[in-house]
Structure 1
Amino acid sequence: MNLATLLQKRAAEAGPVRVGIIGAGKFGSMMLAQARHIKGYHVVGVADLNVAKARESLKRVGWEEDQYSAKTLGDAYKTGKTCIVDNAAALAEFDGIECIIEATGHPIVGVRHALLAIDHGKHVVMVNVEADVMCGPLLAARAKAKGVVYSMAYGDQPAFMCELIDWVRSCGFELTAAGKGMNFEPRYRYSTPDTVWGYFGWTEAEVKAGDFNAQMYNSFTDGTKAAIEMAAVANGTGLDCPDEGLAFLPAGLHDLAQVFKPAADGGRLARSGLIDIAASQEPDGREVLNNIRYGMFVTFKAPDEYTRACFKQYGLLTDKSGWYASMWRPFHLIGLETSVSVLSAVLRGEATGCSKEFRADAVATAKTDLKAGEMLDGEGGFAVWANAIPASKSLALDALPIGLAHKVKLVKPVAKDTPVSFSDVELVDNLDVVEFRKEYTRTMLGKAN
């Protein structure tokens, strides 16, 4: 509740909080749009392989060219301006930066960037949920050992879900379920970059007029992004994925408490303590009334009759019995809000959500019958979608995480809707991250035992 006050005090006594951003795409652009309006908050450097694109991003969100004209990071530090570089390592290695925001969306380089930043004593705000779900708890452990914070990004849905879950537990209610809204129908599961725009209802002209990445948008459409984010929430909060993966249950605002409670009490969950999606579309395509497409929610149960009565007296949205209630946040503004994570890490030493244990995994699953010799093309591609399943099941299947399913060749056929295993593919690149992932699963499995 006092981050703004702490920032004012810090700026007056020791200068601004100094930040480095890796990745100047949509999320990075939104962070940059808001950063220049926060007094005491200095983006020292922006790293992107495409420097020209990074410059265009800054210009597009309203920065004056002089603001990002610093020739070196040292010059930026001294003048209060911003330096654009093509080397993310330069940000991690520069002593004048306190916190690194990893916003590339690339799981393999995201792990590398986080490790480098942590090794150089930097806090890390991991926008890159793809990297976090692949081995976030081990990154968090590395950060803790170094005395720095590893955090989910405020503004993105996983961090908000962690916040809502913390609210439930802090109030002493019984946490039943957590999730987010999403536009989804079962047929979307097999969408490809060639078909995705039809599901958005956009014309070819509209697509050409915008700066849209078909594979990235398809990751949201086919449910892969949901699996990644929900598995990350499970790893950060102690909740579980359903055994067979997310069910994408259609539910509007007034139905959350009725739907997201155990089946034994008339709901649609196998048991309490699960994460899932409140779909904004019915399976037949009809829009759900009062859907929470852009929001996040929790359902919880009153511990006794007195609290149940209070739920009614104070207007909570409850199920028919009155025992279960819901709380939600209707929107998330992604990069416009991420400064909250940076300030929390630097000024309080606290994460806005952090992966702690290996409870869930987002595993590559065949979109069609795949043949030996075919190439997997990763998140949002033509070959695989991600399913969020319990970590114990992922380990038993030796399942390939979606983050490692990019540009790898199949050595065995894989049937449609079947998880891809490590033994099904030939891994010849990115072996450092492959080994880190294996270290992660060994470490987390040992803790569980």
Structure 2
Amino acid sequence: MNFELLFADQAQPVRYALTGAKGGFSRTLLAQTLKMPRLQAAALCDLDVAGLRALCLELGFAADRLIECADANAVAAAPADAIVLVADVELLAAATYDILVEATGNPAIGYRTARRDLEAGRHVAMVSKEVDAVSGITLSRLAAKQGVVYTTADGDQPANLIGWVSWARVLGLDIVAAGKSSEYDLVFDPQLQTITQLDQVIAAPAMADLLTLGDDIAATLTARRAALNGLKTSATADYCEMSVVATNIGFVPDVELLHYPIARTSELADIYALREDGGILGREGVIEVFNVLRLPDEASFAGGVFVIVRTHDQPTWELLAQKGHVVSRNGRYACLYLPYHFMGVETPITLLNAVLHKRASGTDTPSQCTVLGGRATVDIAAGTVLTMGGHHHDVTGVQAVLLAADEADAEVAPLYLAAHATAKRDIKAGALLSIADLEGYDPDLLGAWRAGRLPA
């Protein structure tokens, strides 16, 4: 696709509002749109307005365009070329913009803000996967009724993977699995016999003999896991992102914790084969995450995305294998992948496409085929507040799980309804959280969840 031609006949500028505007993703988007005159920041919202102003000045925004507003009248009275800075998302309603970029990460606030803008005839790009995992289907249906776009945002793995799956489907490829790599690689140093994951280094001498997959794939993967000596390799954010993808492409998990194999990129077509073909999958049409294992001088998968497809014409795939593409040893499967996600650097494509062409980066017909739930990891006493925090938005005392919707009771609580809620009764370790276990959750968010589980 030629992206210059995609927008060549569209001259009007696109104005956007951004919540959670001081966050890491938001910085990448703000920095990128500074280089794009046709895409203009109109309103930025963050609890730390002083910090937000400092960020904008650091990035190079003109000081005289940054107008701090404490009420709706001030927002409405701001000059047309101003960038209003507010601490309260409710004040955004008085601003003039075409599309909201929702990046608070707060399920209840994000849902209300997105719903309000859709009802007002604005488009919404949903970056907050925590919001989308609970209310995305309801918001998508509302957008369709209002004649506007609700979409995932390019640059985050969900939109990138949805797009990659759609590319493979248009080509008629037979997809067995789709997924992404986890956020941080496992980098094995053969000389030091260590594994580095971001800023953590552990001794892992056993990994030296496990760099080759071997004939017994499951045994090798088990041994690699043991060689990590308990190093954590899964993240709540991964489960959340894959739940968003699943509802957009109709896939389900193979197992509720996902397989999370420790794998080298060249092995993916062998690992994500069906068990009868030597792989680890019990069924096809599954959503997955893997941990990248690589050497220090090997390129990262960079949180990229992949699909596993069945090969068709043998000479075609033999030719592709000769060119370095990842084809399984038995020739029956291939891995097609994009080793990148560029966060807000890519997101402008979504914003322009939504406003100028009325097209989503995701799908316009999501369905609740997968449920992002949670299992208690400890006994949770009645009255305990289930706090949410950290880089991966974990819910304290709860392990995220992915369930096929047709295998999950209707009263299973979505994980991010539980966030900030209170345990209404004692919850035993290992129990799947139910809505009846909770109180103090946002009733509108629950309503959106229940509506999304109903047929369209």
TM over 0.5: yes
SS of residue paired to 1:109: helix
* 1:23/1:103 contact within 8 Å kept: yes
* 1:368/1:415 contact within 8 Å kept: yes
1:380 aligns with 2:382: no
For 1:72-151, list aligned pairs within 5 A.
72-73=74-75, 78-79=80-81, 81-94=82-95, 96-151=96-151
Give the equivalent residue in structure 2 for 1:227: 239
Give the equivalent residue in structure 2 for 1:255: 267
Go from structure 1 to structure 2 and tell me whether the alpha carbon gap of 1:424 and 1:78 turns closer, same or farther (over 3 Å shift). closer
Give the equivalent residue in structure 2 for 1:417: 430
Give the equivalent residue in structure 2 for 1:213: none
The percent identity for this pair of structures is: 28
Which whole-Å deviations, capped at 9, do the CAs of 1:287-313 have from their partners, x for residues lacking one? Answer: 998663522111111233354344335
Q: CA deviation at 1:370?
A: 2.0
Matched residues in 1 for 2:239 and 2:288: separation? 9
1:440 aligns with 2:452: yes
SS of residue paired to 2:413: coil
Matched residues in 1 for 2:106 and 2:296: separation? 32
1:356 aligns with 2:373: no
1:305 aligns with 2:322: no
17-26 or 386-395, larger mean C-alpha shift: 386-395
* 1:45/1:76 contact within 8 Å kept: no
Amino acid in the other structure paired with 1:373? G
SS of residue paired to 1:312: helix
Go from structure 1 to structure 2 and tell me whether the alpha carbon gap of 1:325 and 1:400 turns closer, same or farther (over 3 Å shift). same
Matched residues in 1 for 2:266 and 2:90: separation? 48
Matched residues in 1 for 2:291 and 2:61: separation? 38
* 2:264/2:293 contact within 8 Å kept: no
| 1:296 counterpart (305, 308, 312) | 305
Give the equivalent residue in structure 1 for 2:152: 152
Give the equivalent residue in structure 1 for 2:179: 179
Q: CA deviation at 1:415?
A: 2.9
Q: CA deviation at 1:10?
A: 2.8
Which whole-Å deviations, capped at 9, do the CAs of 1:207-230 have from their partners, x for residues lacking one? Answer: xxxxxxxxxxxxx97521111000
SS of residue paired to 1:363: strand
Q: Which runs of 5+ in 1 are unaligned?
A: 186-197, 204-219
SS of residue paired to 1:413: coil
Matched residues in 2 for 1:28 and 1:172: separation? 36
1:52 aligns with 2:50: yes
Matched residues in 2 for 1:260 and 1:395: separation? 28
Go from structure 1 to structure 2 and tell me whether the alpha carbon gap of 1:402 and 1:289 turns closer, same or farther (over 3 Å shift). farther
Give the equivalent residue in structure 2 for 1:22: 19
Give the equivalent residue in structure 2 for 1:365: 375
Give the equivalent residue in structure 2 for 1:341: 350
Go from structure 1 to structure 2 and tell me whether the alpha carbon gap of 1:268 and 1:202 turns closer, same or farther (over 3 Å shift). closer
SS of residue paired to 1:124: strand
Amino acid in the other structure paired with 2:287? I
Give the equivalent residue in structure 2 for 1:195: none
Q: Which runs of 5+ in 2 are unaligned?
A: 186-195, 202-231
Q: Which has the higher helix share?
A: 1
* 1:252/1:290 contact within 8 Å kept: no
Give the equivalent residue in structure 2 for 1:395: 409
* 1:252/1:278 contact within 8 Å kept: no
SS of residue paired to 1:180: strand
Give the equivalent residue in structure 2 for 1:169: 169
Go from structure 1 to structure 2 and tell me whether the alpha carbon gap of 1:358 and 1:149 turns closer, same or farther (over 3 Å shift). same
Go from structure 1 to structure 2 and tell me whether the alpha carbon gap of 1:134 and 1:312 turns closer, same or farther (over 3 Å shift). same
Which whole-Å deviations, capped at 9, do the CAs of 1:253-286 have from their partners, x for residues lacking one? Answer: 100111112111111111211111111369xxx9
Amino acid in the other structure paired with 2:324? G
Which whole-Å deviations, capped at 9, do the CAs of 1:50-93 have from their partners, x for residues lacking one? Answer: 322221221233323223247655566623x3111223233345
Amino acid in the other structure paired with 2:386? L
Q: CA deviation at 1:5?
A: 4.4
Count of residue pairs brought into register by the alignment: 407
1:10 aligns with 2:10: yes
* 2:236/2:400 contact within 8 Å kept: yes
* 2:17/2:100 contact within 8 Å kept: yes
Matched residues in 2 for 1:288 and 1:143: separation? 46
Q: CA deviation at 1:132?
A: 0.7
Go from structure 1 to structure 2 and tell me whether the alpha carbon gap of 1:288 and 1:136 turns closer, same or farther (over 3 Å shift). farther
Go from structure 1 to structure 2 and tell me whether the alpha carbon gap of 1:183 and 1:143 turns closer, same or farther (over 3 Å shift). closer
SS of residue paired to 2:420: strand
Q: CA deviation at 1:6?
A: 5.2
Matched residues in 1 for 2:47 and 2:7: separation? 31
How big is the alpha-carbon RMSD for the aligned residues of Structure 1 and Structure 2? 2.8
* 1:254/1:290 contact within 8 Å kept: no
Matched residues in 1 for 2:106 and 2:49: separation? 17
* 1:6/1:347 contact within 8 Å kept: no
Amino acid in the other structure paired with 1:262? L
* 1:20/1:44 contact within 8 Å kept: yes
